[in-house]
A = this chain, B = another copy of it.
Amino acid sequence: MTTTTNTETTLFVSTENLLNEWLGHRRLTRRVIEAFPEDKLFDYSIGGMRPFATMIKEIIDISGPGIRGIATDNWEHAGNINNHSINKEDQSKDGLLKLLDQSTEEIIAFWPEISDARFQEVVLAFGQYEGQVFSTILYFIDNEIHHRAQGTVYLRSLGIEPPAFWNRD
């Protein structure tokens, strides 16, 4: 039981509901990957931008390890977040979806390990990005929405209708 003064911290969204919002985004992100022809996932580009697979690898590298780091304060094995190269054995649509699912499982597994107070604390994510935990996590999600949306333009330019943005089921 915790007593809070409502004028200081009115609840916008609870940790549980925010996680559910994120998992809804994950389902949509998965569908956008699935909508790509396998080859276009790895070699299609507009305006010199990265292929969609590399953007997705960034999302994978940031999200699972990011939540693990926030939960454990151990960023040692969080990987090189400036290099989102994909291992040869994962260079297929199935391989990428598997990596995405693993990072989603990591988010789900470590979320309950984040203490209640932690969400308002200042963290140095990946040893270099300072911010309050809620803001850092929103950044992870915003980054996923941002790159996924770029992927939908790739799809449209390939003549493929992207999955509906509003559907998070």
A residues near B (Cβ < 8 Å) are 1-6, 8-18, 21, 25, 46-49, 116, 119-120, 132, 134-135, 137-139, 142-143, 145-150, 152-159, 165-166
Q: Smallest distance from the beta carbon of A50 to chain B beta carbons, Å? A: 10
A11–B13 Cα gap in the complex (Å)?
Answer: 7
Total copies of the chain: 2
Q: Smallest distance from the beta carbon of A135 to chain B beta carbons, Å? A: 7
Contact (A49, B10) CB under 8 Å given A4-B2, A149-B147: no
Structural contact, A119 and B153, CB atoms closer than 8 A: no
A21–B75 Cα gap in the complex (Å)?
Answer: 25
- Residues of chain B within 8 A (CB-CB) of A132 are 17
Additional A-B contacts beyond A47-B155, A47-B157 (17; CB < 8 A): A2-B5, A3-B4, A9-B11, A10-B16, A11-B116, A11-B119, A12-B13, A12-B134, A13-B18, A17-B132, A17-B135, A21-B138, A47-B158, A139-B166, A146-B152, A149-B150, A153-B153
